[in-house]
Structure 1
Amino acid sequence: MEGLLEDALRIAIIGPPWYPLPPNGYGGTELVVHLLATELRRLGHHVQVFGAEHSAAGVEMVADASWASDLGSSRESVRLATYLARVYQRLRPQQFDVIHDHTGPAGLLLAIHSGLAPVTVHTVHCELTEPMRTFYTQVEDEARLFAISSSQAQTAPEVRFRGVVHNAVTPPHVAPSQRRERHLIQVARITPDKGQHLSIEVARRAGRKLILAGKVERTQAGQRYFEDEIEPHLGRQVEYYPNLAGAEKERLVARAAAAIFPLQWSEPFGLAMVEAMVLGTPVLAFASGSAPELITPGVTGFLSNDVDQMVAAVQLLDEIDPEDCAACARERFSPGRMARGYLEGYSSSSSARAHHQPQAPLGHRVPD
């Protein structure tokens, strides 16, 4: 930390209890929380952050590492409740200017009713299903709600969002590689929603090798999808890495001709897309969900409406300059830009905004 500002804010940031801050592999929200807390401290604010065991220095670790295996199981809600109880037992003797929750509805309710800060901020990291929309409309006057993409906010016009702040990724310390290989890569959980079967089709038709990296979703549908749609194609042309992370992941993504994302759902924010672009690796994606606002066509990738267009886009990849791709993405998705967006939300005195026109700080406009 560079030293506290005279008007430094006291901020409590409550991350999810599932993976360390920062994560060793999986854990997109955990990465975002880590980058936000680190940048706010660098800017001179007093930040108290909570997370899981094995987190970095400066994190109060109140969730057991073993709880990660309960995510998605019947034990998830009790683990989360236990974590939140521990967090608020530690927070109770103190007062803050802001509590910023990243855990979900239960954590937001506790933050609102704790009485520990005049401002409660909550980032919505998930898909806005009907139950979630109904919940957020119930509490929108008591907390400042932030979306992570304009497309996410537009799926819930009845919810009053205070703004849109794009997630950040870890900025690479090296220049983008000019030495590109011909392979395509998709880093994502193996599940029908991620569309790996379409990545296989695109790679086959384009005559490219494909690397798939990601754990198989722990459901019967996920396992069946892998066995029926992915496993029969594995071999020299389609390689599979279930636990790709760290330097190996960065090397394969940085050397790839493109990262490919034929997603079958409206993803609120494509963190893996951004992680590829900051390395100078262009992204091929369907024009759905957050992809159109993350990808700058011809600079950081290409958008397609179907498999035929995506196959054609593979032939255009040489038109993209890796340095321009990386520079654009590193500026748009930097930790500093994300932190400034939230600081604007922390300090804003406005308490009423139009329901379907959330303010979008730092140029993050919500389209009409």
Structure 2
Amino acid sequence: MKKAKKLNIVQVISNAPDANPLPPTNQGGTEKVVYELTQELVRRGHRVSLFAARGTRTRARDIPFPKQVTGDRILGFVLRKMPRKVDIIHDHTFPSTLGRAKLPIPVVCTYHLPMKHRVSNPVYVSKRARKVMGGNRGYYVYNGINPKEYEFSERKGDYLLFMGRVLEEKGILQAIHIAERTNKKLLIAGPIKDFALYTKKIVPRIRNNPNIKYVGAVGGKRKQKLLKHAKCLLFPTLWEEPFGLVMIEAMICGTPVVALNNGAVPEVMAGFPGLVCKSVKEMIRKVQSGRFPAPRALRRYVLSRFTTAKMTDRYLKIYRRVITRRNSKTAFLRR
């Protein structure tokens, strides 16, 4: 059987004056996914160039963005610095800067967040996201994580965990309510993205309840420790969640996730439908019951569906399909 040709791939991620280099330390689900995908592609022998924030550490050819190159300026910079003989560009930028341009090189665009504009080869991070955002048009690839980066533990502590951006749409107030009603400890970990919400609605409840504590944005060993020893992760998301990376991060550590059934949550949690709730009241009952799947079952589930290797397999199939289609179209036009 003929071996598949190794590809020359360009990966492009959004840039901003405060953009974090890869790999991310304390936050950044998209950044983590792009980093792991890039590393795995290089490990498999593909030639990869990565456009990302200055300071990025990668096995790929690193092409750092100057701080002022943001938004639509990314297109011009990438075209000026484009390596030779590129087979495909993978655009992870929030406005799909390269995907919206008419380039001679095929472009695949992953919609990590909801976007309204259309591109030729959209990829969504769940079937639900493809249906809601793309009308079932395009591809979907589940986000994946590297199992070696996560510590597993069957020994759990006595605290509930909320890990994510401190925003109303992420369900932070609902997580606090669950902790109050169950009289359990709650650790809140994540960057504060709405300071008014934090100071007016969260701080007073923390002051009135010694069981609730904000521990800040976390990464590395501290994040690992919080995830692997939590009694459960609370994921009461209120918005049309495209994926929810922290759910699989918790489960691969052996920690159960009690979540609201918004967005792609039922899809990501398909192996454990009993943990997906229709209301906060149901979440409270589930936490109070203390009946959760075995930690090893949670880990096995993630290993079967949501690894970097599986994500990379899927993206490579899409790359080759898009390249073949472009080559066929070009050959037809040349007749």
Shorter-chain TM band: 0.7 to 0.9
Shift of 1:121: 0.8
Shift of 1:29: 1.1
Shift of 1:159: 6.3
Aligned equivalent of 1:355: none
Shift of 1:80: 2.8
The answer to whether 1:124 aligns with 2:96 is no
Contact 2:21 2:56 in 1 (8 A): yes
Aligned amino acid, residue 143 of structure 2? N
Greater Cα shift, 79-88 or 6-15: 79-88
Aligned amino acid, residue 286 of structure 1? L
Shift of 1:107: 2.0
Cα deviation code 1:30-75 (max 9, x no counterpart): 11111111111222211111111111133524224xx5xxxxxxx8
CA–CA distance in 2 between the matches of 1:155 and 1:206?
34
Secondary structure of the 2:146 match is coil
Give runs of aligned pairs for residues 44-55 of structure 1, distance below 5 A: 44-55=45-56
Give runs of aligned pairs for residues 203-242 of structure 1, distance below 5 A: 203-217=179-193, 222-234=194-206, 235-242=209-216
Out of 47, 61, 64, the residue aligned to residue 62 of structure 1 is 64
Aligned equivalent of 2:332: none
Q: Structure 1 length as normaliser, TM-score?
A: 0.80
Contact 1:297 1:303 in 2 (8 A): no
Out of 282, 297, 301, the residue aligned to residue 328 of structure 1 is 301
Out of 14, 17, 20, the residue aligned to residue 16 of structure 1 is 14
The answer to whether 1:182 aligns with 2:182 is no
Aligned amino acid, residue 86 of structure 1? F
Out of 159, 163, 173, the residue aligned to residue 197 of structure 1 is 173
Aligned amino acid, residue 60 of structure 1? D
Shift of 1:108: 2.5
Secondary structure of the 1:80 match is coil
Aligned amino acid, residue 19 of structure 1? N
Give runs of aligned pairs for residues 272-283 of structure 1, distance below 5 A: 272-283=246-257
Distance 1:256 1:21, change over 3 A: same
Distance 1:150 1:48, change over 3 A: same
CA–CA distance in 1 between the matches of 2:45 and 2:286?
45
Shift of 1:280: 0.9
Aligned equivalent of 2:103: 114
Secondary structure of the 2:9 match is strand
CA–CA distance in 2 between the matches of 1:256 and 1:345?
37
Aligned amino acid, residue 49 of structure 2? Q
Secondary structure of the 2:50 match is strand
CA–CA distance in 2 between the matches of 1:262 and 1:104?
24
Aligned equivalent of 2:265: 291
CA–CA distance in 2 between the matches of 1:253 and 1:308?
24
CA–CA distance in 2 between the matches of 1:213 and 1:239?
9
Aligned amino acid, residue 87 of structure 1? V
The answer to whether 1:308 aligns with 2:281 is yes
The answer to whether 1:152 aligns with 2:126 is no
Structure 2 gap ranges (5+): 327-335
Contact 2:27 2:218 in 1 (8 A): no
Shift of 1:212: 0.5
Greater Cα shift, 275-284 or 171-180: 171-180
Aligned amino acid, residue 259 of structure 1? L
Give runs of aligned pairs for residues 339-358 of structure 1, distance below 5 A: 339-348=312-321
CA–CA distance in 1 between the matches of 2:57 and 2:134?
38
Greater Cα shift, 38-47 or 259-268: 38-47
Shift of 1:287: 0.7
Shift of 1:86: 2.5
CA–CA distance in 1 between the matches of 2:280 and 2:150?
33
Contact 1:258 1:317 in 2 (8 A): no
Cα deviation code 1:270-319 (max 9, x no counterpart): 011111111111111101101101114548x7011111100111134443
Aligned equivalent of 1:99: 89
State the percentage of identical aligned residues: 30
CA–CA distance in 2 between the matches of 1:317 and 1:172?
28
Shift of 1:87: 2.3
Aligned equivalent of 2:330: none
Cα deviation code 1:238-290 (max 9, x no counterpart): 01022222111110111001110111111111011111111111111101101
CA–CA distance in 2 between the matches of 1:227 and 1:108?
39
Aligned amino acid, residue 180 of structure 2? R
Contact 2:99 2:109 in 1 (8 A): no
CA–CA distance in 2 between the matches of 1:159 and 1:322?
34
Secondary structure of the 1:56 match is coil
Secondary structure of the 2:217 match is coil
Q: Structure 2 length as normaliser, TM-score?
A: 0.87
CA–CA distance in 2 between the matches of 1:283 and 1:172?
20
